[in-house]
Structures are given as C-alpha cells and as structure tokens.
Amino acid sequence: MSSEQVKQYNEDQDFDFFAYQAQLERENLMLSYKGPLTDVLLAELSRDIREKLKDSRRVGKKVFSVFMELTQNVLYYSKEVNHFGDRDRVGTVVILQYDDHYQVITGNMVRREAAPLLLDKWKTVTSLDREALREYKRKLRDAPSEGESKGAGIGLVQVALTSDDLEMKIKHLSNEYSFFALFVNIKK
C-alpha cells in the first residue's frame, strides 16, 4: 500500500458508526447486517455475496475473501455477545457498491485496552508495500499468537494484500469497551 492510501487515525475524532451505517443503508447498499454472527449465518451471507458478484469473478473473489476474513474476526473477537441462546458474538457487516469500487465494513466491540494493539497492527500493515506485506505475513506465520489472537494478525495482513485501501476507526464507549471498525476498499 502506498503512503497516499494510508488513512490517518484520529482517536479524538467524533465518529458515530451507527449514524454512518444508517446513511449507508440509503445508498449503494449490497449487504447490511447487525446482530449475532454464527457459522450458519456466515454461510448464508457468503452464498448471497457470491450470487451478487458472480458476474465480476476477479473482484468478486477479492470482496468475498475480505468479507470472510473480517467477519471471522468479528465472530472470534467481538466482546459483545447475544445474551439469548448460545451467546453468539455480535457485530456489524456492511458491503457497499460504488461505480469504481466495493467497500466492506465491519464493526464490533473490543476491550478498550486492546485498542492500542489494534492501532499498532494497523499502522504497521498500512505502512508496508506489497512485497513487505508478504514478508511480514511469512514472519507472522512463525510467530506465537498474541493474547487471545488465533492468528497472530495474519488476517489483517491478508486483507491489506487483497484490498486497495484500509482504514480503521476506534471509538471509546466506556472505561471497559471501544467500538472497532474497519473500512476496506476494493477497486473494480
């Protein structure tokens, strides 16, 4: 990723993900979901995405790959849980279609103390060019997982390799939790 593509993160900026999502639902919306995520639901959403993108095989594969990587992160790491039934993890998934690109957006609750680590990973990933990202991914495969991570951050690197632009926003909600959102653009 070039330095022009790197978006600046500003923790103090007043960002309302839910107002942003409501605006998005009025325009260019391909998929929008907020609620508990399960493997069964992801399979259904995956089928819908593949059907909608079947005419654009190359970019469709990229959008699908990014969708799967980001939704699995929500499925594994969201700190918001559904208190009915199986206590599934809760998150938000949005896919938008524009004239020249698709945008995949996910959001979920994280522990506030995880925000600096997520920000550091994002800064590292967005500062690297394509070849450096590949090398970093190889390095991460051999590294032990950090904290509760199941993949040592490889997913974020894979998203950066697959996409054209990656932006992160974190909004602190309380002393304990923050809302973590990723915005990923994929050119058509």
Residues contacting 55, CB < 8 A, separation 6+ = none
Which of 18-22, 27-31, 39-43, 142-146 has the highest mean predicted lDDT (pLDDT)? 39-43
Six token digits for residue 31: 């998929």
Mean pLDDT of the chain: 85
Q: Which among 75, 54, 52, 50 has a CA at the least distance from the CA of 64?
A: 50
> CA-CA distance, 88 to 81, in Å (whole number)?
5
**For residue 165, what are the domain limits?**
3-187
Residue 153's pLDDT band, with cuts at 50, 70 and 90, is: confident
Task: Compute CA distances 135 → 6, 41, 48, 139, whole Å.
Answer: 19, 34, 34, 6
Q: What confidence tens digit (pLDDT) does each residue in 49-108 have?
A: 999 999 889 999 999 999 999 999 999 899 999 877 778 999 999 999 999 999 999 999
pLDDT at 11: 47
Q: Which among 168, 30, 160 has a CA at the least distance from the CA of 102?
A: 30
Q: Are 151 and 65 in contact (CB under 8 A)?
A: no
Domain count, the chain: 1
Read off the DSSP letter of residue 118. Answer: H
Task: List, in sequence order, every beta strand (DSSP E) within 10-127.
Answer: 29-36, 90-97, 101-111
As a whole number, mean pLDDT of residues 102-117 equals: 95
- Whether 47 shows a pLDDT value over 80: the answer reads yes
Specify the CATH number for the domain of residue 86.
3.30.565.10
Tally of helices (H runs) and strands (E runs) in the chain: 6, 5
- Looking at 104-165, list the stretches that DSSP marks H as alpha helix, in order from N- to C-terminal side: 115-127, 130-142, 154-162
Q: What confidence tens digit (pLDDT) does each residue in 155-164 have?
A: 999 999 999 9
